[in-house]
Amino acid sequence: MKSTILITGGTGYIGSHAAVELMQAGCNVVVLDNLCNSDVRVIERLKNICGNAPQFVNGDVRDSALLDKVFALHPINAVMHFAGLKSVGESWQQAAHYLDNNVGGTACLVAAMERADVRRLVFSSSATVYGQPDTVPILETAPLRTTNPYGRSKLLCEDMLRELQAVDSRWQVALLRYFNPVGAHASGLIGENPTGVPNNLMPYIAQVASGRHPFLRVFGNDYPTIDGTGIRDYIHVVDLAQGHLAALRYLEQVEKGITVNLGTGSGVSVLQLVDAFKQATGMEIPYQIYPRRPGDVASCYAATDLALEALSWRALLPIEVMCADAWRWEQSIKNAVDHD
């Protein structure tokens, strides 16, 4: 029988890509999203990609009555929980809101799952829970520490989910620690919904290429790295989405939880990404060196052995594909903005 998966935050960037992978793998998908950072038109686009649309519920994960209704209406086997707020800068201004939405939302969801007797959960965590890492590549056993309220909210969710599994072995939770998701679906139909000026490197580079900004500010060229600029582990969002399917299969087969990094294991510097973007797209990216961005780490990339061993999953798409797909998506949203 087909399994039915509830995806919270399923009209968002990563959730929509996970919806594609799940539907293409034959699952029924129910999306719950309050559209605070996404657009309902994503549902129609998922239909264009997959041939059928997921069921859509417009609502909030903090709405217990609504969650009970969703679990009563659909034979849900597992939940993928993407719904959350994710801006580090905003989390300093709105710490209480981040706690309420991210931690309160997760608490509400697991309580509803408990009532519905559904205890299989794939959770969107982040490499941000490693804070300033002592060594790279970062193993899943590295110390956990956070440097901002957003990161703290993710760590609190992880703690809550670890606690649940410790007291009740029926809970099976995959804590997936994402590194730096970039790129977009090859169809050009779904990608990251940019509001305002992006803080993250790849969307900013793409916007420089399309002429929305005159140049890229490179935050620091005096780090102890290959060219002095910050090193990160960029992972194609489609690879990341496939990692979720692998994690779900793991929970179904092994019937116990796992905490695992989802990254490529390769570090790429800011200037290397600028160069790869130029190679992949032919676009020049003018840049200027600026001071370091407060809170940034020099180097952050994943140890990937556990993902390969336990999930039989590894990221496959190279940096050039990440750049080409980010560029295609930027062009499609710029066209849409220009024609609005």
Tell me which residues are annotated as active site. Answer: 150
Selected binder of ligand NAD within 29, 80, 84, 330 (CB under 6 A): 84
Contact status: 67 vs ligand UD1 (CB under 6 A): no
Kindly report the CA angle at 131 between 179 and 247, in degrees rounded to 5? Answer: 35
Q: Does 83 bind ligand NAD (CB under 6 A)?
A: yes
DSSP secondary-structure letter at 141?
Answer: T
Q: Is 223 or 250 the residue whose CB approaches ligand UD1 more closely?
A: 223
Q: Give Dmax over CA atoms of the chain in angstroms.
A: 56
Among 21, 23, 31, 34, binds ligand NAD (CB under 6 A): 34
Q: Coil, strand, or helix at residue 260? A: strand
How far is it, in rounded angstroms, from Cα 4 to Cα 80?
11
Pick one of ligand NAD, ligand UD1, none as the site partner of residue 203 (Cβ within 5 to 8 A by kind). Answer: none
Binding residue (CB under 6 A) for ligand NAD from 86, 152, 244, 328: 86
Query: Under a CB-based contact definition with an 8 Å cutoff, are residues 273 and 206 in contact?
Result: no
Is 7 in a helix, a strand, or coil? strand
Partner from ligand NAD, ligand UD1, none binding residue 6, C-beta < 5-8 Å depending on class: none
Identify the helix (H) or strand (E) that includes residue 114: helix 105-116
Q: Between 14 and 274, name the residue whose CB sits nearer to ligand NAD.
A: 14
Cα end-to-end span (Å), the chain: 44
Of 315, 317, 234, 311, the residue nearest 269 (C-alpha): 234
Which amino acid would we find at residue 212?
Answer: R
232 binds ligand UD1 (CB under 6 A): yes
Question: Could you say whether residue 201 binds ligand UD1 (CB under 6 A)?
Answer: yes
In sequence order, which residues have a C-beta less than 8 Å from that of residue 138 and are 6 or more positions away?
A: 127, 130, 261, 300, 301, 302, 303
71 binds, among ligand UD1, ligand NAD, none (CB under 5 to 8 A by kind): none
Closer residue to ligand UD1, CB minimum distance, 124 or 172 = 124
Interface residue with ligand UD1 among 42, 270, 276, 307 (CB under 6 A) is: 270
Footprint on this chain of ligand UD1 (rule: CB under 6 A): 88, 126, 128, 151, 180, 199-201, 204, 216-219, 230, 232, 270, 293, 295-296
Interface with ligand NAD (CB under 6 A) = 8-9, 11-15, 33-38, 60-62, 82-86, 101, 105, 124, 126, 178, 181, 193
